[in-house]
Structure formats: C-alpha cells, structure tokens
Chain A
C-alpha cells in the first residue's frame, strides 16, 4: 500500500485514519448513527403446517466521516483547464496557465499537487471516472513536458461526481469538463 505524503492535509487524514483503525481494534470506536437498539433475535415458531424459519436481526453499524480541512497557499491566477466534449487535448489558450504552474511546482520541490479530472454529467459514473483520469493525466503530462517532476504530481479523477456548476445545459456542462490543479 502506498501512502503519499501531501503536507498537513494528508497527515491529518492519516492521523484520522489510524486513530479510527486503532479505535476500531478496541471494539467500539466509530461514531454511531441510527444504530439499531434491539438485540433480540427472532425465534422461529412452527405453526401446524409448514415449517418455521428464523427471521434474523440484521443490524447495520453506521460510520460518520468528518468534513476535511482546507488546503494551503496556492499560486495566484487560474488553475482550471477546460476541455471540449469527449476531448483530452489541452487547448492552446491554456498553455500560459500550464507554464505558470510548471514553474511554481519546479520552484518548490516539497510541494505536492493533485490534478483532478472531471467530466460532465452524461453517462456512467465509473466510465466518467476513467474519462476524468485521462484529462488529469493529459495535464500532468503537459506539466511534465515543461520540467515539473512527476513525483510531485498525482493525477486523480472525480468523474462526474463534483460538477463545478449545476445544470445540464451545454454551458454548464462545458464548465464541468475540466481538470483542476489542486495544491495539497
């Protein structure tokens, strides 16, 4: 298993994760919500004809994840690359943006950055996740061509899960087909 160190944000998450795991090991850790209070099992009783069959208690224990913290300082200016429909090609108008971020990443070797790929809302969630990944990897490759080290950049995808703007008209969907450069 590979854990990436991504500054305070990731450290905090690792802490939360390990604390949760530790507590879980102790038996009764996670925040409980809607926990069934009944603990008696159903007992089958046979009637005159036909056989009885048990109706078992089927509890579900709820886990509640807290809202995550905010990220650190980021370079000024735009950090979103927009894509055409079904396209993974970075358009020339985003070249300056890519250059700005490549310089920033190169200048701070400790800085980790995630490229988050997104799609519009049409189609399946998993296939869109794969399409968003292609967009994120296209931006990572463009940064790499300008000398930004691959080791500082992780390409991930949110698929269609995090639209930038609501709505399903073409204007909204064009705003959602994007890759966001996210410093961590």
Chain B
C-alpha cells in the first residue's frame, strides 16, 4: 500500500507542476484551444496515444474481453484501430487550410455557414459536443473512482471526489498542458500494461493456455451466475448478437474517426503532413499497448474464472494488478490508469468548456475580440472546466454504464450525426448547409431511436444511413455553396474573400475588414 501511495503522490505532483508551468505559457485564445497550430510530431503522437488510452481502453477493453471473449477485439480493438487508420486523410484535409479553424463547431461554421453573423449550425454542433463530452468526462471520473477506491480502500462514492483535487491545478494550463502530461502518461501506461501483461503470461503459462481456457471455459462472469456455453468466448460473435456487435464496431470505427476531439487534434500540428503522420505513427504505437491489454483481458479468465458479486467488469484490471502483480509494477500500472483518467477527463472538459465559451457564448459578443476579451474568455474557460468537473463528479457518484460501452454510445451518436457532414465536407465541393443540417438531425434522431428501441438493424447503420439519405436529398434540392465555404479545404492558395471570411469568423477583423 505504501508503494502505491508514494507513486500516486509523485505522479500528482508532476501533473500539478506541469500544469502550473504550462499556465504561464498560455498567451492567446488559440494557444488555449489548439496550442497555436504549432505542435511537433513527437508531442502529437504522444498526445494522440494518450487520448486513445483512457479508462475505456485500459480498463473497459480488458473487462469486455473477459466477459465477451475475442469478439471484443472486433468491437473495440479493431474498431478503434480502423478509426485511427482512416484518420490520416481526414487530418490532412482538416489541417490543409492556411488559417486552420480552432474548434470543431468553428470548422462546421466555416464550411457551411461562412457568412452568418450568428451561426446556428455552430451552436447546434457545440451543444451536441457539450453533451457528448460531458458524458466522456463523467466516464473518466468513474474510472478514476474505481481505481482510487480499489487502491486506497476508500468507498467509490467518496473516492471520485479526489478527482477534483487534481483538476483544480490541471485546468489551469489549457491545450498544451493536456498535451504535455498526455505524452508522459502514454509512456507510463505503456510501461504499466506491458509489465502487467508479462505477469499474466507468467501466471497462466503463456498465450496458448490462455486461448485454451477461453475456448473451453463455462465459468460465469460473476460468481453465482449461470454457466456460459463452452467455447462461446472464442467465437467471433462471443456473447453479442450480430446487430449489436456490428453497431459497436461501426460506432468505434466510423464514429470515432470524426469525433470532434479528434478533429480538434488534427488542427494542432504544425502542418498537414505532421497531422497525417501523427495518426499513422499513433496507430502502430497502439499495437504495443493493445497486445498487452488483450493478453490481460483474456488471461484474467484463467486467473480469476468469475468476478465477485457487486463488482463490474471494469474492476477486473485493478483487481488483477492488486492481487497478482509486484507492488511497484502494480503502482505503475494503476497510476497509469489514473493518469489516463485525469488527463482524458481534462481534455474532454476542455472540449466541453470550449464549446460553451468559445462556440456558444463568444458568438453573441458583437464586434472584434480584443486581447482583453480573449484573456477574459480564457479565464472563463478555466472556471467552466472546473465547474463541469464538479458536475461530472456529482454524476459519477451513481454510475449508469460500463466504461467502454459508454464511449461507444457517444462515438455512435457523434458518427451518426457528423460522419457525412465531415467526410463530404472535405471531399465534395457541392456539399452544402442544408445537407449538413439534414444529416446531423436525421443521424442523431435515427441513432437514438434505434439504440433506445434495441433495433434488430445495427443502430449505427440506422443513424448513418438516414443521415446520408437526408443529406443527399437536401444537397440536391438546394443551391451549391459559395466559394468561400469550401475553398480552404480544396485549394492551396485561397482568395482574399475567403481569407476575410475566416478572419471575420475568428473575430480578428471587423465587418469593414480592418485587422486588430
């Protein structure tokens, strides 16, 4: 226990010092939201890796492998890997403009409503993001609480409140603070899960033994439950139905590939090539982390055939670590999970508050934003991040979903609403404002309805299918967009009129064209 506490304290001190140091470097609104569009490749890969390594992956994936079998490799691992594999092209197109946008809603506004004084599309997208990222951050707090309570013995309901102690400091730094701590977290997570996987391999006698157990076990997930069919954990569908697994795979692949936080990540690199390479290198680095996670999840079925009553599968990873790993290895691995939870929650809360302050409130501020206005906005962002953090903690006291599944629902909703507006927006000049509205509204309604009614057709297919149909009808029924709407994403040297439109949207010149 002492080793765990020492490692935890050292880690938290590191996070606090980094955040405070980074807070001094935050100079502008762009610095706070995207790090000033100047991120190098190493930091970009580190921060992208850590974004994937949240509690949903580090704790949720092993838990799902344990209860669902190798089918979870299709649903989550192959799903998220496919999302990352698709990202280089999207990243290139998003980072192509000479003056990149700062947030995802601002991207949607530039592409679809470049001349609007107040963009209702930017407001709609920001609102959807606000809800989605609140759920994401709430899930991270839940993961943090599970680990913290497992390590300290403090009941979960109280453990979640320790999250706020760290958030007070980490919300000071903005984007670069998140990026810097993310990179170290990724390294820490890698060391932790690799060492834990070796421990599992050692305990089980190797991967062949692990698969042998998976292919024959009848042990229920929880003690006292009904035995499962022998061999079901080794089948491609596992304990899922075809429709459910397809929807999970599509939500985690197509949905995640256009999730607004990833689009925002693509705006941060110093150029388009760095943006594309960042995601490809991340893809290959992830292999080194997911092989250990798969080993831990499947191997745990040999070590602990059934989990105690009263625990969810999300407790599996910390339980394996605490019971079977060397204390130092365990402390590293669990600190890594807490690191993932805090940094990802911080990142998600940053997206949440940026939506609220930058994309919603700032739109109603008339005229040009002065430096004083921007400083005020940055302060407001910090206050909102902390307030949303408090709200996340209060909600997390009573968890309502498993970690990985919660992520999948949000990715599915994002994908159903945003997949076509993003993909067609960067690849098809004819894509217009009416198409974007129709696509977002139809996709969101379709996905929520299919999920709520447990449709036999995969929920993501219902949402994305309706979204595409509504989009195409609306696009062909309405006029083509103006040049200023799409030029940045298709042409290297943009016209003066497009440049002026972007400056006006970012409130850097007034309506008369005067720069400030």
Binding partners A and B = no
